């Protein structure tokens, strides 16, 4: 069996309204799908993390850099392919966009392997520790509006997300420490007695500002404080984890086993959030997961993008061993974007119907059972939204 073709499809559409997080506002949604074809007619699908122009540039890496290295190789040789590509790209980028590009290719190879063996990816990984996963709903994004308007909107949105059936929710901050504490207080009031809430700063604070917000979160009972400081600020992470009660989470901007080894040894994370579509794909995710568990750091995957990324993560969450285990063990959650996303809702021939599952099954989502990813994109939909 041989790889015959490797194609990137960058999809894009204009959002009905602009959304924001602490670093920028954005008005378009992008998804970067990778399609790997074989001489036996089996096609695999993967996804690369990275929006807008990042996705367009990553398409150049997938098709212009990685494809010539691997066309003609056996797609079942996932680890051989991974190391060939990584070793040849190492001098030009051990992190960032080359790894995002490799990730989408690797996920597509796992989809092919599952289809060849007639097994879902979670079985290739050793089987399902759980058949369903609780989902948390994220929303409460930033907009160009006043602090008071943010507070009022977050009050409405947290109620709406809980009404959808989610038992946990995540909000953005980034208006400045004092305004951010007001936003967090509104969400804390909204979830009281009904669920838990998490706060995502997308690394907008200095360490001292993160302590100001984090001490308020300690009083409000937030479950985690995500990316409080820049990913490079290892000392900040370690000081915050030692000084706050609230769990410190992060890792979506880290890549590969060597980067993860360093942030785990730094002891700055209570909860690790690896992004499979960025850090190096499923092959590398398995090594990162083992490193996290070797440090007794629980994992809640970072999830972003289309239904391909959601399906990939459902298999990984199913196959994640309990840590440390018990009658009522600590359980991971599926991160789920509740904002407008056609690539999540309409891309597949058979939708995962996550929202319907959440509302009907007490906040839980079942794991796909078909071979490979267990989902297939609709080619007409891809043609309609393809940017390049």
Which one of the listed residues 9, 32, 150, 302 is annotated catalytic?
A: 302
**157: contact with Ca ion by CB under 5 A:** no
Q: CA-to-CA distance for 306 and 32, rounded, in angstroms?
A: 8
Minimum distance from residue 178 beta carbon to Ca ion (Å): 22
**Among residues 200, 275, 284, 337, which is the contact residue for Ca ion, using CB under 5 A?**
200
Q: Is residue 302 annotated as a catalytic residue, yes or no?
A: yes
Element (H, E) at 16: strand 3-21
Options 184-192, 195-203, 275-283, 350-358: segment touching Ca ion (CB under 5 A): 195-203
Q: Which is nearer to Ca ion, 12 or 301 (CB)?
A: 301
Q: CA-to-CA distance for 22 and 40, rounded, in angstroms?
A: 46
Tokens of 238: 């370690």
Q: Which is nearer to Ca ion, 38 or 341 (CB)?
A: 341
Minimum distance from residue 147 beta carbon to Ca ion (Å): 22
CA distances from 77 to 15, 66, 83, 125, 366 (A): 39, 15, 10, 15, 29
Q: Which is nearer to Ca ion, 143 or 369 (CB)?
A: 143
Residue 95 neighbours by CB under 8 Å, 6+ apart? 254, 255, 256, 259
Element (H, E) at 385: helix 379-385
CA proximity to 191, closest of 209, 172, 167, 224? 167
CA distances from 107 to 92, 154, 272, 277, 285 (A): 22, 35, 20, 8, 10
Minimum distance from residue 227 beta carbon to Ca ion (Å): 6
Options 67-75, 97-105, 193-201, 236-244: segment touching Ca ion (CB under 5 A): 193-201
From residue 255 to residue 274, the character string flagging contacts with Ca ion as x (rule: CB under 5 A) and all else as - is --------------------
Options 73-81, 200-208, 236-244, 292-300: segment touching Ca ion (CB under 5 A): 200-208
Options 81-89, 158-166, 198-206, 330-338: segment touching Ca ion (CB under 5 A): 198-206
> Do the Cβ atoms of 229 and 237 come closer than 8 Å?
yes
The DSSP secondary-structure symbol of 184 reads H
Minimum distance from residue 97 beta carbon to Ca ion (Å): 18
Residue nearest to Ca ion (CB): 200
Q: Which is nearer to Ca ion, 124 or 183 (CB)?
A: 183
Q: CA-to-CA distance for 382 and 127, rounded, in angstroms?
A: 31
Q: Which is nearer to Ca ion, 65 or 217 (CB)?
A: 217
Give the interface with Ca ion as residue ranges (CB under 5 A): 200
Residues serving a catalytic function are: 302
């Amino acid at each position: 069996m041989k790889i015959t073709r490797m194609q990137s499809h960058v999809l894009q559409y204009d959002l009905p309204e602009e959304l924001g997080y602490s670093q920028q506002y954005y008005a378009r949604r992008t998804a970067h799908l990778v399609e790997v074809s074989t001489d036996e007619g089996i096609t695999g699908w993967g996804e690369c993390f990275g929006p807008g122009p990042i996705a367009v540039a990553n398409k150049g890496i997938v098709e212009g850099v990685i494809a010539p290295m691997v066309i003609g190789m056996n797609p079942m040789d996932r680890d051989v392919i991974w190391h060939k590509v990584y070793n040849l790209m190492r001098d030009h980028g051990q992190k960032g966009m080359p790894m995002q590009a490799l990730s989408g290719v690797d996920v597509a190879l796992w989809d092919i392997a599952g289809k060849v063996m007639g097994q879902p990816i979670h079985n290739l990984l050793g089987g399902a520790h759980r058949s369903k996963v609780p989902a948390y709903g994220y929303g409460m994004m930033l907009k160009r509006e006043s602090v008071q308007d943010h507070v009022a909107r977050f009050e409405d949105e947290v109620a709406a997300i809980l009404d959808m059936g989610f038992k946990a929710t995540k909000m953005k901050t980034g208006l400045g420490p004092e305004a951010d504490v007001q936003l967090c207080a509104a969400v804390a009031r909204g979830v009281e007695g009904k669920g838990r809430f998490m706060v995502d700063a997308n690394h907008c604070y200095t360490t001292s500002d993160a302590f100001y917000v984090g001490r308020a979160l300690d009083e409000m009972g937030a479950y985690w404080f995500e990316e409080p400081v820049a990913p490079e600020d290892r000392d900040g992470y370690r000081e915050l984890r030692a000084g706050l009660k609230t769990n410190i989470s992060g890792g979506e901007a880290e890549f590969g086993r060597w980067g993860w080894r360093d942030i785990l040894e730094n002891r700055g994370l209570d909860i690790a959030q690896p992004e499979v579509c960025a850090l190096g794909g499923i092959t590398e995710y398995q090594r990162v997961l083992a490193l996290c568990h070797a440090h007794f750091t629980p994992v809640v995957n970072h999830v972003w993008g289309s239904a391909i990324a959601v399906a990939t993560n459902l298999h990984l969450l199913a196959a994640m061993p309990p840590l440390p285990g018990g009658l009522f063990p600590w359980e991971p959650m599926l991160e789920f974007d509740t904002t407008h996303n056609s690539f999540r809702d309409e891309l597949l021939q058979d939708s995962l119907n996550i929202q319907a599952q959440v509302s009907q099954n007490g906040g839980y989502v079942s794991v796909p059972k078909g071979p490979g990813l267990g989902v297939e994109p609709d080619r007409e939909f891809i043609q309609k939204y393809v940017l390049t």
